[in-house]
Amino acid sequence: MSEQAVTAQSEDFSRWYNEIVYRADLAAPSPVRGCVIIKPYGYEIWEGIKAGLDRRFKVTGHQNAYFPLFIPESYIQREAQHVEGFSPELAVVTHAGGKELEEPLVVRPTSETVIGEAFSDWIQSYRDLPLLINQWANVVRWELRTRPFLRTAEFLWQEGHTAHATHDEAEEETMQMLDIYADFAINDAAIPVIKGEKSRLERFAGALRTYTIEAMMRDRRALQCGTSHNLGQNFAKAFDIRYLAESNNQEYCWTTSWGLSTRMVGAVVMTHGDDKGLRLPPKLAPYQVVIVPIYKNDSQRSAVMEAVERLQGTLDGAGIRVHVDNREGQSPGFKFNDWEMRGVPVRMEIGPKDVQNNNAVLARRDVLGRQGKQFISQDGILEAAQSLLADIQASLLEDARAFRDAHITDVSTYDELRAVIEEGDWARAHWDGSDADELAVKDDTGATIRCFPFEQQPAPGVCVMTGRKTGRVALFAKAY
RNA sequence: CGGGGCGUGGCGCAGCCCGGUAGCGCGCACGGUUUGGGUCCGUGAGGUCCCCGGUUCGAAUCCGGGCGCCCCGACCA
């Protein structure tokens, strides 16, 4: 019955995505167009993402702060490219307190401007640098076509903002944060991302250079998972962020910004999910192990529950996030499917037979059916669970990496590029084209330059568009 | 902003052409049965049929107007 099975990925990927998001209880529809309610299970994944990133930010010397949701309209207009980039999608408050405001307030789409204004006050001398700030916040961009987590009118993110004395320090910071994103994506989210630089067309409005981590989703479309911008002195000049150098001269600062959003939740869903539902990497899974007790009658129930509670305590004591599914009136079979839908990495089954044999069954989410099940002595349950979780974390990453690598093709002519994109894969090509050339490719094939990957082809080649010799390689793909 | 569709219990829908007591599946509640891969049976709760107006003895159904939403084409974490 359609109430049970989810649409297969191969049949209709975006339908699959929507069903999973709602049925795994990550999100709920909101009364406001383009927005979503993030439900507890989805929010816990986001909390895992926050924790993983925040720890890394702190280790590298950043501090959290919070800036206002409302930005005076005039601020947004101070940096020319910035206005141009964002004005179409701004939400603006014109009335408040029953009166029309003297100056409309923009609901922040990002905070370079307010933070720039603050930085100009805070920074006096080179001794105040570098200034390393991050904020966790919601932002609003009035998008037309929205999808839960991937693109919503309001979303949650972190935005880092830093100021430095020199271009090179700013560049170093920009790159360091990109590395942190990549490290987090790969090691915590098990998403093998590709680091690279954005083309001019895809660059952040107002940035000198934008770097990105790009991931391949299960339908082979590209998803930009995080970006890090070297803003040069553009915002420093617009907001007068200056410092007195040791030489006693006033200098403009060099600033950076970098952000990663709740889109990452969508990336986890679309990178690892299968036709049974979510597959969560253990490091981000709200529940790493779920225990399903099995019994027929009260006496079995008490024997089983005693073992269940003991094992729960063992795992919990070792820091494993464990949940006992003690719902009455739901069959074990139903629970198995339910937790598979929700992507819990390890399921533990304990029934009367296991109690009798001092066993437990461990089933791994990434290997369905009997192959993924093993009988373990209760005495060794902790070690077994720990190593299974580590194994799942690694194998999800490996799966995704193999999938990605199988769908990137090196091309040396434009016809090949077109064919590869048509097929749905990514194309890697030598590129020395102009903005207009890039747009032409988009019009023609639907693909954009996702990035110029840092890991370049060793040998220079010939640009697929212009025929000019170049050492630069671009990744082309259809993107979300 | 251009083209197509839809508004009916919480969700998904049927009913509308041809006006006459508002239905089905899922979910929910209760009882029993079952429980090692999505149990089954019974009982029950739950609806201003998007809004306003018109036609009519009578409107979910026909007519007029409005509102909202979804899908497809140009921009975006």
CATH of the domain at A458: 3.30.110.30
Instruction: Quote the pLDDT of residue A28.
Output: 86
Determine whether A53 is exposed, middle or buried from the number of CB atoms within 10 Å of its CB (0-12, 13-18, 19+).
buried
Task: Name the nucleotide with the smallest C1'–CA separation from A368.
Answer: B37
- Position A419, amino acid: A
Q: Specify which of A214-218, A296-300, A441-445 reaches the highest per-range mean pLDDT.
A: A214-218
Paired tokens of A243: 């410092």
Residues A298-327, mean pLDDT to the nearest whole number: 95
Write down which residues 198-227 in A have CB closer than 7 A to strand B: 201-202, 204, 224-227
Percent of chain A with pLDDT over 90: 80
- Taking the C-alpha atoms of residue A174 and residue A231, their distance in angstroms, rounded to an integer, is 9
- Taking the C-alpha atoms of residue A88 and residue A316, their distance in angstroms, rounded to an integer, is 49
Q: Which DSSP letter does residue A206 get?
A: T
For residue A277, is it within any domain? no
For residue A256, is it within any domain? yes
Instruction: Quote the pLDDT of residue A36.
Output: 86
Contact A133, A173 (CB under 8 A): no
pLDDT in tens, A375-415: 999 999 999 999 999 999 999 999 999 999 999 999 999 99
Q: Quick check: A337 CB within 7 A of strand B?
A: yes
Minimum-distance residue to B26 (CA–C1'): A3
- Residue ending a domain, choose from A322, A354, A388: A388
- Taking the C-alpha atoms of residue A127 and residue A64, their distance in angstroms, rounded to an integer, is 20
**CATH number, position A309:** 3.40.50.800
Instruction: Quote the pLDDT of residue A118.
Output: 97
Model confidence at A453: pLDDT above 50: yes
Distance, Å, A326 CA → B43 C1': 26
Paired tokens of A322: 């464990």
Residue A31 sits in the same domain as residue A93: yes
Write phi, then psi, for A151 (nearest 5 degrees): -160, 110
Model confidence at A240: pLDDT above 90: yes
Residue A166 sits in the same domain as residue A223: yes
Residue A178 sits in the same domain as residue A88: yes
Distance, Å, A157 CA → B13 C1': 38
For residue A402, is it within any domain? no
Q: Quick check: A154 CB within 7 A of strand B?
A: no
| CA proximity to A81, closest of A290, A234, A258, A263 | A234
Residues A292-311, mean pLDDT to the nearest whole number: 94
Residues in chain A: 480
Residue A147 sits in the same domain as residue A37: yes
Write down which residues 340-369 in A have CB closer than 7 A to strand B: 340-341, 349-354, 361, 363, 368-369
- Taking the C-alpha atoms of residue A395 and residue A453, their distance in angstroms, rounded to an integer, is 24
- Residue ending a domain, choose from A359, A388, A417: A388
Residue A228 sits in the same domain as residue A113: yes
Residue A369 sits in the same domain as residue A235: no
Write phi, then psi, for A428 (nearest 5 degrees): -110, 120
Model confidence at A2: pLDDT above 50: no
Residue A86 sits in the same domain as residue A221: yes
Counting the structural domains of chain A, the total is 3
- CA A4 to chain CA centroid, Å, is 28
Task: Name the nucleotide with the smallest C1'–CA separation from A356.
Answer: B36
Helix (H, G, I), strand (E, B) or coil at A271: helix
Contact A185, A193 (CB under 8 A): yes
Q: Quick check: A323 CB within 7 A of strand B?
A: no
Residue A235 sits in the same domain as residue A316: no
For residue A138, is it within any domain? yes
- Residue ending a domain, choose from A241, A272, A303: A272
Instruction: Quote the pLDDT of residue A171.
Output: 98
Residue A41 sits in the same domain as residue A185: yes
Range of the domain at A372: 289-388
Task: Name the nucleotide with the smallest C1'–CA separation from A157.
Answer: B77
Residue A253 sits in the same domain as residue A351: no
**CATH number, position A63:** 3.30.930.10
Distance, Å, A202 CA → B6 C1': 37
Task: Name the nucleotide with the smallest C1'–CA separation from A359.
Answer: B36
- Taking the C-alpha atoms of residue A474 and residue A427, their distance in angstroms, rounded to an integer, is 8
- CA A31 to chain CA centroid, Å, is 25
Model confidence at A144: pLDDT above 80: no
Residue A342 sits in the same domain as residue A212: no
| CA proximity to A142, closest of A188, A212, A89 | A89
Distance, Å, A144 CA → B62 C1': 36
Q: Which DSSP letter does residue A260 get?
A: E
Helix (H, G, I), strand (E, B) or coil at A239: helix
For residue A65, is it within any domain? yes
- What element of type H or E holds A171? helix A167-187
Residue A301 sits in the same domain as residue A445: no
The C-alpha R_g of chain A, in whole angstroms, comes to 25
Helix (H, G, I), strand (E, B) or coil at A219: coil
* DSSP β-bridge partners for residue A457: none
- Looking at A366-434, list the stretches that DSSP marks H as alpha helix, in order from N- to C-terminal side: 381-406, 414-423
Write down which residues 238-277 in A have CB closer than 7 A to strand B: 259-263, 276
Write down which residues 22-51 in A have CB closer than 7 A to strand B: 33-34
pLDDT averaged over chain A? 93
Write down which residues 378-437 in A have CB closer than 7 A to strand B: none
For residue A281, is it within any domain? no
For residue A4, is it within any domain? no
- Taking the C-alpha atoms of residue A430 and residue A404, their distance in angstroms, rounded to an integer, is 20
Q: Could you say which nucleotides of strand B lie within 7 A of any protein CB atom?
A: 1, 25-27, 33-39, 68-77
Instruction: Quote the pLDDT of residue A1.
Output: 31
For residue A199, is it within any domain? yes
- What confidence category does residue A4 fall into, taking pLDDT thresholds of 50, 70 and 90? low
Distance, Å, A297 CA → B42 C1': 22
Model confidence at A209: pLDDT above 80: yes
- CA A107 to chain CA centroid, Å, is 23
Of the listed ranges A78-82, A127-131, A219-223, A349-353, the one predicted with least confidence: A78-82
